[in-house]
Structure 1
Amino acid sequence: MARDIDISLIRTFLAVAESGGMTSAAHTLNLTQGAISQKIKRLEELFDTPLFERKNKTIRLTPEGERLLVRAYRLISLNDETWQLMTQPAFTGEIRLGVPLDIIRPLLPPILRRFSREHPRIQLTLVGDMTGNLLNALKNGDVDLTLTTESRAGGGDALLLSDQLVWMGAQNGEACQKTPLPVSLGSDSCAFRGPTLDALNKAQVDWVAICAQGNLDSILASIEADMAVAPYLQSLVPPNLSAIPPDAGLPALPTYHINLHLPDAGGSVIAKELAKYIRQGFAAR
Protein backbone atom coordinates (compact mmCIF):
# COMPACT_ATOMS: atom_id res chain seq x y z
CA MET A 1 0.00 0.00 0.00
CA ALA A 2 1.43 3.36 -1.06
CA ARG A 3 1.97 5.98 1.64
CA ASP A 4 2.42 9.74 1.36
CA ILE A 5 5.76 11.31 2.31
CA ASP A 6 5.69 14.48 4.39
CA ILE A 7 7.81 16.99 2.46
CA SER A 8 8.86 18.71 5.70
CA LEU A 9 10.53 15.45 6.77
CA ILE A 10 12.45 15.31 3.48
CA ARG A 11 13.50 18.95 3.86
CA THR A 12 14.78 18.21 7.35
CA PHE A 13 16.64 15.13 6.08
CA LEU A 14 18.44 17.25 3.46
CA ALA A 15 19.29 19.97 5.98
CA VAL A 16 20.94 17.42 8.27
CA ALA A 17 22.74 15.70 5.38
CA GLU A 18 24.08 19.00 3.98
CA SER A 19 25.09 20.57 7.30
CA GLY A 20 26.43 17.40 8.91
CA GLY A 21 24.56 17.74 12.18
CA MET A 22 21.25 18.21 13.97
CA THR A 23 22.27 21.52 15.55
CA SER A 24 23.35 23.10 12.25
CA ALA A 25 20.16 21.88 10.57
CA ALA A 26 18.11 23.41 13.38
CA HIS A 27 19.70 26.81 12.71
CA THR A 28 19.08 26.49 8.98
CA LEU A 29 15.39 25.59 9.37
CA ASN A 30 14.79 27.81 12.42
CA LEU A 31 13.67 24.85 14.53
CA THR A 32 14.82 23.38 17.80
CA GLN A 33 17.28 20.51 17.81
CA GLY A 34 14.61 18.36 19.42
CA ALA A 35 12.20 19.09 16.57
CA ILE A 36 14.86 18.10 14.03
CA SER A 37 15.52 14.83 15.87
CA GLN A 38 11.82 14.03 15.96
CA LYS A 39 11.40 14.65 12.24
CA ILE A 40 14.34 12.40 11.40
CA LYS A 41 12.93 9.73 13.70
CA ARG A 42 9.53 9.94 11.96
CA LEU A 43 11.17 9.61 8.54
CA GLU A 44 13.21 6.61 9.65
CA GLU A 45 10.06 5.01 11.07
CA LEU A 46 8.22 5.71 7.82
CA PHE A 47 10.87 3.88 5.79
CA ASP A 48 11.59 1.39 8.59
CA THR A 49 15.34 1.91 8.22
CA PRO A 50 18.05 4.10 9.78
CA LEU A 51 19.09 7.00 7.55
CA PHE A 52 21.97 8.35 9.66
CA GLU A 53 24.76 6.71 11.60
CA ARG A 54 25.57 8.51 14.85
CA LYS A 55 29.03 7.98 16.33
CA ASN A 56 31.28 10.09 18.58
CA LYS A 57 29.16 13.24 18.14
CA THR A 58 29.37 12.94 14.36
CA ILE A 59 26.59 12.00 12.00
CA ARG A 60 26.77 10.57 8.51
CA LEU A 61 24.46 8.94 6.01
CA THR A 62 23.88 5.20 6.09
CA PRO A 63 23.74 3.37 2.73
CA GLU A 64 19.95 3.71 2.91
CA GLY A 65 20.32 7.45 3.53
CA GLU A 66 22.59 7.79 0.51
CA ARG A 67 19.97 6.02 -1.62
CA LEU A 68 17.35 8.50 -0.46
CA LEU A 69 19.54 11.57 -0.97
CA VAL A 70 19.25 11.94 -4.77
CA ARG A 71 15.50 11.33 -4.74
CA ALA A 72 15.11 13.75 -1.84
CA TYR A 73 16.60 16.55 -3.93
CA ARG A 74 14.18 15.74 -6.74
CA LEU A 75 11.20 15.70 -4.36
CA ILE A 76 12.10 19.07 -2.83
CA SER A 77 12.83 20.63 -6.21
CA LEU A 78 9.48 19.54 -7.64
CA ASN A 79 7.63 20.58 -4.47
CA ASP A 80 9.20 24.06 -4.41
CA GLU A 81 8.77 24.58 -8.13
CA THR A 82 5.10 23.68 -7.87
CA TRP A 83 4.59 25.89 -4.83
CA GLN A 84 6.16 28.92 -6.52
CA LEU A 85 4.18 28.31 -9.70
CA MET A 86 0.88 28.21 -7.85
CA THR A 87 1.36 30.81 -5.12
CA GLN A 88 3.74 33.59 -6.12
CA PRO A 89 5.60 35.12 -9.06
CA ALA A 90 8.88 33.29 -9.46
CA PHE A 91 12.15 35.17 -9.08
CA THR A 92 13.79 35.34 -12.48
CA GLY A 93 16.93 36.95 -13.81
CA GLU A 94 20.66 36.86 -13.12
CA ILE A 95 22.54 37.54 -9.91
CA ARG A 96 26.32 38.03 -9.70
CA LEU A 97 27.91 37.11 -6.38
CA GLY A 98 31.47 38.13 -5.57
CA VAL A 99 33.42 35.70 -3.38
CA PRO A 100 37.06 35.71 -2.18
CA LEU A 101 38.84 32.74 -3.73
CA ASP A 102 39.77 31.09 -0.43
CA ILE A 103 36.21 30.79 0.88
CA ILE A 104 34.32 29.66 -2.24
CA ARG A 105 34.81 25.93 -1.89
CA PRO A 106 34.86 25.53 1.92
CA LEU A 107 31.76 27.64 2.68
CA LEU A 108 29.55 28.27 -0.33
CA PRO A 109 28.39 24.96 -1.90
CA PRO A 110 25.57 24.11 0.60
CA ILE A 111 24.27 27.69 0.48
CA LEU A 112 24.35 27.93 -3.30
CA ARG A 113 22.78 24.49 -3.71
CA ARG A 114 19.84 25.44 -1.50
CA PHE A 115 19.36 28.79 -3.24
CA SER A 116 19.51 27.26 -6.74
CA ARG A 117 17.16 24.46 -5.73
CA GLU A 118 14.55 26.84 -4.38
CA HIS A 119 14.99 29.49 -7.11
CA PRO A 120 15.62 27.47 -10.28
CA ARG A 121 14.82 30.39 -12.60
CA ILE A 122 17.64 32.59 -11.29
CA GLN A 123 20.98 32.38 -13.09
CA LEU A 124 23.61 32.62 -10.35
CA THR A 125 27.11 33.63 -11.45
CA LEU A 126 30.12 33.49 -9.13
CA VAL A 127 32.87 36.09 -9.46
CA GLY A 128 35.97 34.93 -7.59
CA ASP A 129 38.63 37.54 -6.78
CA MET A 130 40.49 39.32 -3.99
CA THR A 131 38.51 41.39 -1.50
CA GLY A 132 39.75 44.78 -2.73
CA ASN A 133 38.85 43.95 -6.32
CA LEU A 134 35.44 42.66 -5.28
CA LEU A 135 34.59 45.84 -3.38
CA ASN A 136 35.52 47.87 -6.46
CA ALA A 137 33.36 45.57 -8.60
CA LEU A 138 30.42 46.14 -6.25
CA LYS A 139 30.92 49.91 -6.41
CA ASN A 140 31.05 49.78 -10.22
CA GLY A 141 28.00 47.53 -10.50
CA ASP A 142 29.94 44.55 -11.85
CA VAL A 143 28.62 42.32 -9.03
CA ASP A 144 25.28 42.57 -7.21
CA LEU A 145 26.61 41.64 -3.77
CA THR A 146 29.88 40.31 -2.43
CA LEU A 147 31.48 38.46 0.41
CA THR A 148 34.78 39.82 1.73
CA THR A 149 37.56 38.95 4.15
CA GLU A 150 38.44 42.10 6.11
CA SER A 151 40.30 43.21 9.21
CA ARG A 152 37.23 45.14 10.38
CA ALA A 153 33.95 43.47 11.31
CA GLY A 154 30.96 44.61 9.29
CA GLY A 155 28.20 46.44 11.12
CA GLY A 156 24.73 45.05 11.72
CA ASP A 157 23.93 41.94 9.69
CA ALA A 158 26.96 42.45 7.43
CA LEU A 159 29.21 40.35 9.70
CA LEU A 160 28.95 36.65 8.86
CA LEU A 161 31.95 35.10 10.62
CA SER A 162 34.96 36.14 12.71
CA ASP A 163 37.97 33.84 12.57
CA GLN A 164 41.57 33.82 13.69
CA LEU A 165 44.22 34.27 11.02
CA VAL A 166 46.85 31.56 11.53
CA TRP A 167 50.02 30.31 9.88
CA MET A 168 49.37 27.31 7.65
CA GLY A 169 51.93 24.74 6.59
CA ALA A 170 52.37 21.21 5.36
CA GLN A 171 51.54 18.41 7.78
CA ASN A 172 54.71 17.65 9.75
CA GLY A 173 56.40 20.27 7.58
CA GLU A 174 59.71 22.02 8.17
CA ALA A 175 59.22 25.25 6.22
CA CYS A 176 58.24 27.09 9.42
CA GLN A 177 61.71 26.39 10.85
CA LYS A 178 63.69 27.80 7.93
CA THR A 179 65.64 31.06 7.90
CA PRO A 180 64.76 33.20 6.11
CA LEU A 181 61.12 32.17 6.57
CA PRO A 182 59.58 31.25 3.17
CA VAL A 183 56.15 32.90 2.94
CA SER A 184 53.60 32.37 0.17
CA LEU A 185 51.58 35.59 -0.11
CA GLY A 186 49.91 35.65 -3.52
CA SER A 187 49.07 38.93 -5.23
CA ASP A 188 49.46 42.46 -3.87
CA SER A 189 45.67 42.69 -3.44
CA CYS A 190 45.47 39.72 -1.04
CA ALA A 191 43.58 40.86 2.07
CA PHE A 192 46.00 38.99 4.37
CA ARG A 193 49.19 40.39 2.85
CA GLY A 194 49.38 43.70 4.75
CA PRO A 195 48.82 42.39 8.30
CA THR A 196 51.09 39.41 7.64
CA LEU A 197 53.99 41.60 6.55
CA ASP A 198 53.35 43.95 9.48
CA ALA A 199 53.54 41.02 11.91
CA LEU A 200 56.73 39.67 10.35
CA ASN A 201 58.47 43.05 10.28
CA LYS A 202 57.38 43.99 13.80
CA ALA A 203 58.77 40.68 15.09
CA GLN A 204 61.93 41.30 13.02
CA VAL A 205 61.57 37.94 11.27
CA ASP A 206 63.80 37.51 8.24
CA TRP A 207 61.54 36.26 5.42
CA VAL A 208 61.48 35.65 1.70
CA ALA A 209 58.47 35.71 -0.63
CA ILE A 210 57.52 32.48 -2.35
CA CYS A 211 54.80 32.42 -5.01
CA ALA A 212 54.52 36.22 -4.75
CA GLN A 213 52.07 36.61 -7.65
CA GLY A 214 50.38 33.22 -7.73
CA ASN A 215 46.73 32.25 -7.54
CA LEU A 216 45.21 30.23 -4.71
CA ASP A 217 46.02 26.87 -6.31
CA SER A 218 49.71 27.72 -6.64
CA ILE A 219 49.81 29.03 -3.05
CA LEU A 220 48.25 25.82 -1.71
CA ALA A 221 50.59 23.72 -3.85
CA SER A 222 53.63 25.52 -2.43
CA ILE A 223 52.37 24.90 1.10
CA GLU A 224 51.61 21.24 0.48
CA ALA A 225 55.10 20.80 -0.98
CA ASP A 226 56.52 22.27 2.25
CA MET A 227 58.12 25.08 0.26
CA ALA A 228 56.54 27.84 2.36
CA VAL A 229 54.01 28.85 4.99
CA ALA A 230 51.06 31.19 4.48
CA PRO A 231 48.39 33.08 6.45
CA TYR A 232 44.93 31.49 6.36
CA LEU A 233 41.67 31.57 8.25
CA GLN A 234 41.85 28.92 10.95
CA SER A 235 38.48 27.29 10.26
CA LEU A 236 39.24 27.00 6.54
CA VAL A 237 42.63 25.26 6.68
CA PRO A 238 42.31 22.31 4.25
CA PRO A 239 42.42 18.84 5.84
CA ASN A 240 45.63 17.95 3.98
CA LEU A 241 47.42 20.94 5.55
CA SER A 242 47.88 22.09 9.15
CA ALA A 243 47.67 25.20 11.28
CA ILE A 244 51.18 25.78 12.67
CA PRO A 245 51.07 25.80 16.49
CA PRO A 246 52.07 28.98 18.38
CA ASP A 247 55.10 27.26 19.94
CA ALA A 248 56.74 27.25 16.50
CA GLY A 249 57.64 30.85 17.25
CA LEU A 250 55.98 32.59 14.31
CA PRO A 251 54.45 36.01 15.08
CA ALA A 252 50.77 36.10 16.02
CA LEU A 253 48.31 37.19 13.35
CA PRO A 254 45.08 39.20 13.84
CA THR A 255 41.46 38.14 13.76
CA TYR A 256 39.75 38.52 10.40
CA HIS A 257 36.10 38.80 9.46
CA ILE A 258 33.95 37.53 6.62
CA ASN A 259 31.47 40.28 5.74
CA LEU A 260 28.59 40.51 3.29
CA HIS A 261 28.21 43.73 1.31
CA LEU A 262 25.31 44.95 -0.80
CA PRO A 263 25.28 48.21 -2.79
CA ASP A 264 24.76 51.42 -0.83
CA ALA A 265 21.31 51.68 -2.41
CA GLY A 266 20.36 48.34 -0.85
CA GLY A 267 20.47 46.07 -3.86
CA SER A 268 17.83 44.34 -5.97
CA VAL A 269 15.11 42.08 -4.63
CA ILE A 270 17.02 39.06 -5.92
CA ALA A 271 20.25 40.24 -4.27
CA LYS A 272 18.45 40.63 -0.95
CA GLU A 273 16.96 37.16 -1.33
CA LEU A 274 20.40 35.61 -1.92
CA ALA A 275 21.81 37.62 1.00
CA LYS A 276 19.14 36.06 3.23
CA TYR A 277 20.23 32.56 2.22
CA ILE A 278 23.89 33.41 2.79
CA ARG A 279 23.20 34.74 6.31
CA GLN A 280 21.17 31.65 7.15
CA GLY A 281 23.93 29.38 5.84
CA PHE A 282 26.63 31.03 7.93
CA ALA A 283 24.39 31.06 11.01
CA ALA A 284 24.00 27.29 10.63
CA ARG A 285 27.77 26.66 10.85
Structure 2
Amino acid sequence: MARNLDIALIRTFLAVAERRNMTAAGNALHLTQSAVSQQIARLEQAFGRELFSRDRRGLKLTPAGERLQGKARHLLGLNDEIWADMTTRRVDGPVRLGVPFDLAGPLIAPILKGFAGAFPQVEISLLCAASPDLTQALARGEIDLALVETPLGVTEGECLAIDRLVWVGARGGVAHLKTPLPVSMVAETCAFRPAVLAALQGQSRDWRTVFENGSIDATTATVATDLAVTAWLAFTVPPHLDILPAEAGLPPLPSFAINLHLPAGDAAPATLELARHIREGLSRTRLVA
Protein backbone atom coordinates (compact mmCIF):
# COMPACT_ATOMS: atom_id res chain seq x y z
CA MET A 1 0.00 0.00 0.00
CA ALA A 2 1.31 3.46 -0.92
CA ARG A 3 2.56 5.71 1.84
CA ASN A 4 2.63 9.51 1.68
CA LEU A 5 5.39 11.56 3.27
CA ASP A 6 4.46 14.62 5.31
CA ILE A 7 6.43 17.50 3.74
CA ALA A 8 6.23 19.50 6.98
CA LEU A 9 8.02 16.68 8.84
CA ILE A 10 10.68 16.49 6.12
CA ARG A 11 11.22 20.25 6.35
CA THR A 12 11.63 20.00 10.13
CA PHE A 13 14.04 17.07 9.75
CA LEU A 14 16.27 19.08 7.38
CA ALA A 15 16.23 22.10 9.69
CA VAL A 16 17.42 19.95 12.60
CA ALA A 17 19.95 18.10 10.44
CA GLU A 18 21.50 21.37 9.26
CA ARG A 19 21.64 22.98 12.72
CA ARG A 20 22.15 19.88 14.91
CA ASN A 21 19.98 21.60 17.49
CA MET A 22 16.20 21.43 17.94
CA THR A 23 15.90 24.86 19.54
CA ALA A 24 17.77 26.52 16.66
CA ALA A 25 15.67 24.59 14.14
CA GLY A 26 12.52 25.70 15.94
CA ASN A 27 13.60 29.34 15.77
CA ALA A 28 14.16 29.02 12.02
CA LEU A 29 10.76 27.36 11.50
CA HIS A 30 8.89 29.52 14.05
CA LEU A 31 8.12 26.43 16.13
CA THR A 32 8.72 25.60 19.77
CA GLN A 33 11.46 23.15 20.70
CA SER A 34 8.72 20.81 21.91
CA ALA A 35 6.92 20.91 18.56
CA VAL A 36 10.16 20.16 16.69
CA SER A 37 10.89 17.22 19.00
CA GLN A 38 7.39 15.83 18.46
CA GLN A 39 7.67 16.10 14.66
CA ILE A 40 11.02 14.29 14.63
CA ALA A 41 9.54 11.58 16.84
CA ARG A 42 6.61 11.19 14.40
CA LEU A 43 8.98 10.85 11.46
CA GLU A 44 11.13 8.27 13.27
CA GLN A 45 8.02 6.34 14.21
CA ALA A 46 6.82 6.35 10.59
CA PHE A 47 10.17 5.01 9.34
CA GLY A 48 10.75 2.72 12.31
CA ARG A 49 14.29 4.06 12.59
CA GLU A 50 16.15 6.59 14.69
CA LEU A 51 17.32 9.55 12.64
CA PHE A 52 19.40 11.33 15.31
CA SER A 53 21.65 10.31 18.16
CA ARG A 54 23.16 12.57 20.80
CA ASP A 55 26.81 13.03 21.73
CA ARG A 56 28.74 15.66 23.71
CA ARG A 57 28.50 18.20 20.87
CA GLY A 58 24.76 17.81 20.41
CA LEU A 59 22.63 15.96 17.87
CA LYS A 60 24.22 13.70 15.28
CA LEU A 61 22.70 12.01 12.25
CA THR A 62 22.43 8.25 12.41
CA PRO A 63 23.26 6.22 9.28
CA ALA A 64 19.54 6.23 8.47
CA GLY A 65 19.41 9.99 8.97
CA GLU A 66 22.37 10.47 6.65
CA ARG A 67 20.64 8.42 3.93
CA LEU A 68 17.47 10.45 4.35
CA GLN A 69 19.17 13.87 4.29
CA GLY A 70 20.20 13.93 0.62
CA LYS A 71 16.89 12.57 -0.66
CA ALA A 72 14.97 14.92 1.66
CA ARG A 73 16.73 17.94 0.17
CA HIS A 74 15.79 16.81 -3.32
CA LEU A 75 12.18 16.14 -2.30
CA LEU A 76 11.80 19.49 -0.55
CA GLY A 77 13.36 21.37 -3.46
CA LEU A 78 11.00 19.69 -5.91
CA ASN A 79 8.04 20.43 -3.65
CA ASP A 80 8.92 24.12 -3.47
CA GLU A 81 9.56 24.29 -7.22
CA ILE A 82 6.17 22.77 -8.00
CA TRP A 83 4.43 25.09 -5.55
CA ALA A 84 6.06 28.19 -7.03
CA ASP A 85 5.34 27.09 -10.60
CA MET A 86 1.67 26.40 -9.93
CA THR A 87 0.90 29.44 -7.79
CA THR A 88 3.03 32.24 -9.25
CA ARG A 89 1.25 34.41 -11.80
CA ARG A 90 3.10 34.43 -15.11
CA VAL A 91 4.41 37.87 -15.94
CA ASP A 92 5.81 38.51 -19.41
CA GLY A 93 5.72 40.92 -22.32
CA PRO A 94 7.12 44.44 -22.68
CA VAL A 95 6.99 47.23 -20.11
CA ARG A 96 8.17 50.80 -20.74
CA LEU A 97 9.32 52.83 -17.75
CA GLY A 98 9.94 56.57 -17.70
CA VAL A 99 12.43 57.94 -15.15
CA PRO A 100 13.91 61.41 -14.55
CA PHE A 101 17.60 61.72 -15.40
CA ASP A 102 18.72 62.03 -11.78
CA LEU A 103 16.88 58.89 -10.59
CA ALA A 104 18.06 56.54 -13.34
CA GLY A 105 21.32 55.62 -11.61
CA PRO A 106 21.06 55.71 -7.80
CA LEU A 107 17.44 54.64 -7.55
CA ILE A 108 16.28 52.66 -10.55
CA ALA A 109 19.34 50.62 -11.51
CA PRO A 110 19.22 48.22 -8.52
CA ILE A 111 15.43 47.96 -8.72
CA LEU A 112 15.51 47.02 -12.40
CA LYS A 113 18.27 44.49 -11.74
CA GLY A 114 16.14 42.75 -9.11
CA PHE A 115 13.04 42.90 -11.29
CA ALA A 116 14.85 41.45 -14.31
CA GLY A 117 16.17 38.61 -12.16
CA ALA A 118 12.69 37.78 -10.86
CA PHE A 119 10.95 38.13 -14.25
CA PRO A 120 13.49 37.43 -17.00
CA GLN A 121 10.73 37.01 -19.57
CA VAL A 122 9.71 40.69 -19.26
CA GLU A 123 11.22 43.05 -21.83
CA ILE A 124 12.08 46.33 -20.07
CA SER A 125 12.49 49.62 -21.93
CA LEU A 126 13.77 52.68 -20.06
CA LEU A 127 13.11 56.27 -21.10
CA CYS A 128 15.04 59.01 -19.29
CA ALA A 129 13.62 62.50 -19.56
CA ALA A 130 12.55 65.47 -17.46
CA SER A 131 9.47 64.90 -15.30
CA PRO A 132 7.10 67.16 -17.33
CA ASP A 133 8.13 65.33 -20.51
CA LEU A 134 7.48 61.97 -18.85
CA THR A 135 3.98 63.04 -17.80
CA GLN A 136 3.20 63.92 -21.40
CA ALA A 137 4.71 60.68 -22.71
CA LEU A 138 2.51 58.67 -20.34
CA ALA A 139 -0.60 60.57 -21.47
CA ARG A 140 0.28 59.82 -25.11
CA GLY A 141 0.72 56.12 -24.34
CA GLU A 142 4.43 56.13 -25.18
CA ILE A 143 5.37 54.63 -21.79
CA ASP A 144 3.52 52.35 -19.37
CA LEU A 145 4.46 53.94 -16.05
CA ALA A 146 6.65 56.77 -14.84
CA LEU A 147 8.37 58.25 -11.84
CA VAL A 148 7.74 61.97 -11.72
CA GLU A 149 9.29 64.61 -9.48
CA THR A 150 7.01 67.46 -8.40
CA PRO A 151 7.05 70.14 -5.70
CA LEU A 152 5.62 68.78 -2.49
CA GLY A 153 1.82 68.91 -2.54
CA VAL A 154 1.53 69.26 -6.32
CA THR A 155 0.84 65.81 -7.72
CA GLU A 156 -1.81 63.56 -9.19
CA GLY A 157 0.25 60.38 -8.81
CA GLU A 158 1.09 58.11 -5.92
CA CYS A 159 3.63 59.75 -3.62
CA LEU A 160 6.34 57.20 -2.83
CA ALA A 161 8.96 59.40 -1.18
CA ILE A 162 9.87 62.96 -0.27
CA ASP A 163 13.35 64.45 -0.31
CA ARG A 164 14.80 67.93 -0.03
CA LEU A 165 16.18 69.79 -3.01
CA VAL A 166 19.74 70.95 -2.32
CA TRP A 167 22.44 73.03 -3.96
CA VAL A 168 25.36 70.97 -5.22
CA GLY A 169 28.88 72.11 -6.02
CA ALA A 170 32.42 70.87 -6.52
CA ARG A 171 34.50 69.82 -3.54
CA GLY A 172 36.11 73.03 -2.29
CA GLY A 173 34.62 74.86 -5.27
CA VAL A 174 33.96 78.58 -5.68
CA ALA A 175 31.32 78.57 -8.45
CA HIS A 176 28.65 79.52 -5.89
CA LEU A 177 30.52 82.79 -5.22
CA LYS A 178 30.42 83.97 -8.83
CA THR A 179 28.14 86.68 -10.20
CA PRO A 180 26.09 85.93 -12.16
CA LEU A 181 25.68 82.50 -10.55
CA PRO A 182 26.46 79.72 -13.09
CA VAL A 183 23.68 77.11 -12.90
CA SER A 184 23.40 73.79 -14.75
CA MET A 185 19.93 72.24 -14.72
CA VAL A 186 20.39 69.25 -17.10
CA ALA A 187 17.40 70.18 -19.27
CA GLU A 188 15.28 73.25 -19.90
CA THR A 189 12.17 71.27 -18.89
CA CYS A 190 13.73 70.04 -15.61
CA ALA A 191 11.12 69.82 -12.85
CA PHE A 192 13.50 71.60 -10.45
CA ARG A 193 14.09 74.61 -12.71
CA PRO A 194 11.02 76.72 -11.73
CA ALA A 195 11.73 76.23 -8.01
CA VAL A 196 15.41 77.09 -8.44
CA LEU A 197 14.71 80.21 -10.48
CA ALA A 198 12.01 81.35 -8.05
CA ALA A 199 14.45 80.97 -5.16
CA LEU A 200 17.14 82.98 -6.98
CA GLN A 201 14.66 85.69 -7.95
CA GLY A 202 13.51 85.88 -4.33
CA GLN A 203 17.12 86.57 -3.37
CA SER A 204 17.53 89.00 -6.29
CA ARG A 205 20.47 86.87 -7.39
CA ASP A 206 21.71 87.16 -10.97
CA TRP A 207 22.30 83.83 -12.68
CA ARG A 208 23.18 82.34 -16.03
CA THR A 209 22.57 78.93 -17.59
CA VAL A 210 25.45 76.52 -18.16
CA PHE A 211 24.98 73.32 -20.14
CA GLU A 212 21.30 72.40 -20.43
CA ASN A 213 21.72 69.64 -22.98
CA GLY A 214 19.71 66.82 -21.38
CA SER A 215 22.74 64.91 -20.10
CA ILE A 216 23.09 64.15 -16.39
CA ASP A 217 26.71 63.15 -17.02
CA ALA A 218 27.46 66.50 -18.65
CA THR A 219 25.92 68.36 -15.71
CA THR A 220 27.90 66.23 -13.25
CA ALA A 221 31.13 66.99 -15.10
CA THR A 222 30.28 70.69 -15.27
CA VAL A 223 29.73 70.84 -11.52
CA ALA A 224 32.71 68.63 -10.66
CA THR A 225 35.03 70.98 -12.59
CA ASP A 226 33.58 73.96 -10.69
CA LEU A 227 32.06 75.55 -13.79
CA ALA A 228 28.59 75.70 -12.23
CA VAL A 229 26.35 74.64 -9.38
CA THR A 230 23.21 72.57 -9.74
CA ALA A 231 20.21 71.47 -7.67
CA TRP A 232 19.40 67.82 -7.03
CA LEU A 233 17.51 65.72 -4.52
CA ALA A 234 19.84 65.17 -1.58
CA PHE A 235 19.97 61.37 -1.82
CA THR A 236 21.04 61.50 -5.49
CA VAL A 237 24.14 63.66 -4.92
CA PRO A 238 27.29 61.74 -5.96
CA PRO A 239 29.85 61.26 -3.18
CA HIS A 240 32.53 63.24 -5.04
CA LEU A 241 30.36 66.38 -5.00
CA ASP A 242 29.31 68.56 -2.07
CA ILE A 243 25.90 69.57 -0.78
CA LEU A 244 26.43 73.29 -0.26
CA PRO A 245 25.58 74.47 3.27
CA ALA A 246 23.48 77.49 4.16
CA GLU A 247 26.71 79.42 4.74
CA ALA A 248 27.32 79.30 0.98
CA GLY A 249 24.78 82.09 0.68
CA LEU A 250 22.41 80.40 -1.78
CA PRO A 251 18.65 80.60 -1.16
CA PRO A 252 16.88 77.62 0.47
CA LEU A 253 15.07 75.23 -1.86
CA PRO A 254 11.79 73.34 -1.33
CA SER A 255 11.26 69.63 -0.85
CA PHE A 256 10.07 67.51 -3.77
CA ALA A 257 7.93 64.38 -3.99
CA ILE A 258 8.79 61.32 -6.05
CA ASN A 259 5.49 60.13 -7.50
CA LEU A 260 4.52 56.96 -9.32
CA HIS A 261 2.20 57.46 -12.29
CA LEU A 262 0.29 54.59 -13.91
CA PRO A 263 -1.94 54.77 -17.00
CA ALA A 264 -5.57 55.77 -16.59
CA GLY A 265 -6.89 52.42 -17.85
CA ASP A 266 -6.11 48.85 -16.85
CA ALA A 267 -2.38 48.15 -16.68
CA ALA A 268 -0.72 44.95 -17.86
CA PRO A 269 0.58 42.47 -15.25
CA ALA A 270 4.20 43.35 -16.09
CA THR A 271 3.48 47.03 -15.48
CA LEU A 272 1.78 46.35 -12.14
CA GLU A 273 4.60 44.03 -11.03
CA LEU A 274 7.26 46.60 -11.90
CA ALA A 275 5.26 49.24 -10.00
CA ARG A 276 5.30 46.93 -6.96
CA HIS A 277 9.06 46.50 -7.21
CA ILE A 278 9.51 50.27 -7.42
CA ARG A 279 7.36 50.82 -4.32
CA GLU A 280 9.35 48.24 -2.37
CA GLY A 281 12.65 49.63 -3.63
CA LEU A 282 11.81 53.16 -2.59
CA SER A 283 10.65 51.96 0.80
CA ARG A 284 14.18 50.63 1.39
CA THR A 285 15.87 53.84 0.19
CA ARG A 286 17.05 56.10 3.00
CA LEU A 287 16.25 59.65 1.95
CA VAL A 288 17.76 62.68 3.60
CA ALA A 289 14.58 64.67 4.24
Common fold by TM > 0.5: yes
Alignment of 1:266-281 (within 5 A): 266-281=266-281
Match of 1:250 in 2: 250
* Alignment deviations for residues 160-204 of structure 1 (CA, whole Å, 9 cap, x no partner): 111110100001111111112111123221111111111111110
Match of 2:20 in 1: none
* Distance (Å, rounded) in 1 between the aligned partners of 2:79 and 2:280: 21
Alignment of 1:101-140 (within 5 A): 101-140=101-140
Residue 96 of structure 1 aligns with an amino acid whose one-letter code is R
1:108 match: secondary structure: helix
Alignment of 1:20-169 (within 5 A): 84-153=84-153, 158-169=158-169
* Distance (Å, rounded) in 2 between the aligned partners of 1:108 and 1:81: 29
* Alignment deviations for residues 195-252 of structure 1 (CA, whole Å, 9 cap, x no partner): 1111111110011211133521111111000001011111110011010001111011
* Alignment deviations for residues 118-152 of structure 1 (CA, whole Å, 9 cap, x no partner): 11111111111111111111111111100011114
Alignment of 1:198-277 (within 5 A): 198-277=198-277
* Alignment deviations for residues 43-94 of structure 1 (CA, whole Å, 9 cap, x no partner): xxxxxxxxxxxxxxxxxxxxxxxxxxxxxxxxxxx99987654444521101
1:127 match: secondary structure: strand
Residue 181 of structure 1 aligns with an amino acid whose one-letter code is L
Q: Which has more radius of gyration? A: 2
Change in CA separation of 1:120 and 1:251 when aligned onto 2, cut-off 3 Å: same
Cα RMSD, aligned residues only: 2.5
Change in CA separation of 1:127 and 1:84 when aligned onto 2, cut-off 3 Å: farther
Q: For the Cα contact (< 8 Å) 1:153–1:159, is it kept in 2?
A: no
Query: Sequence identity of aligned pairs in percent?
Result: 39
Match of 1:178 in 2: 178
- TM-score w.r.t. structure 1 length? 0.69
- TM-score w.r.t. structure 2 length? 0.68
Change in CA separation of 1:205 and 1:92 when aligned onto 2, cut-off 3 Å: same
Change in CA separation of 1:117 and 1:80 when aligned onto 2, cut-off 3 Å: farther
Q: Work out the number of aligned pairs and report it.
A: 213
Change in CA separation of 1:79 and 1:138 when aligned onto 2, cut-off 3 Å: farther
* Distance (Å, rounded) in 2 between the aligned partners of 1:111 and 1:80: 25
Residue 269 of structure 1: how far off its partner (Å): 2.1
Change in CA separation of 1:251 and 1:88 when aligned onto 2, cut-off 3 Å: closer
Change in CA separation of 1:99 and 1:163 when aligned onto 2, cut-off 3 Å: same
Residue 109 of structure 1: how far off its partner (Å): 2.1
1:270 match: secondary structure: helix
Contiguous gaps of at least 5 residues in structure 2: 1-12, 16-26, 29-77
Contiguous gaps of at least 5 residues in structure 1: 7-37, 40-77
Change in CA separation of 1:178 and 1:157 when aligned onto 2, cut-off 3 Å: closer
Match of 1:47 in 2: none
* Distance (Å, rounded) in 1 between the aligned partners of 2:159 and 2:123: 26
